[in-house]
Amino acid sequence: MPASEKVAFVFGGSRGIGAASVSRLARDGCAVAFTYASREDKAAQLADGIVVGGGWALPIKADSANPDEILAAIAQAVE
């Protein structure tokens, strides 16, 4: 991913409004990292669809209610 690209991070991005936000950001040219809590299959399906469409997506398992998991997810996205 080129450093000049826009990057977005969405908490709870694998389903519903979160997934719609991830998809929209990817269509708008952002590289998108997003968290999911339990549905790895949904997160992978969303990320795969973005990548097939020429975008960049990184699903990260993290519970948004856990501050340590959120800090680790942000660190993983930055890395």
* Higher-pLDDT residue of 2, 6: 6
What is the pTM assigned to this prediction?
0.88
Q: Which residues contact 6 (CB under 8 A, 6 or more apart)?
A: 28, 29, 30, 31
Work out the mean pLDDT of the chain and round it to a whole number: 91
Domain 7-78 has CATH 3.40.50.2000: no
State the residue for tokens 């993290």: 62
Whether the predicted pLDDT of 38 surpasses 80: yes
**CB distance 36 to 59 below 8 Å:** yes
State the residue for tokens 């997810």: 73
Spell out the domain ranges in the chain. Answer: 7-78
Cα separation of 69 and 6, whole Å?
A: 23
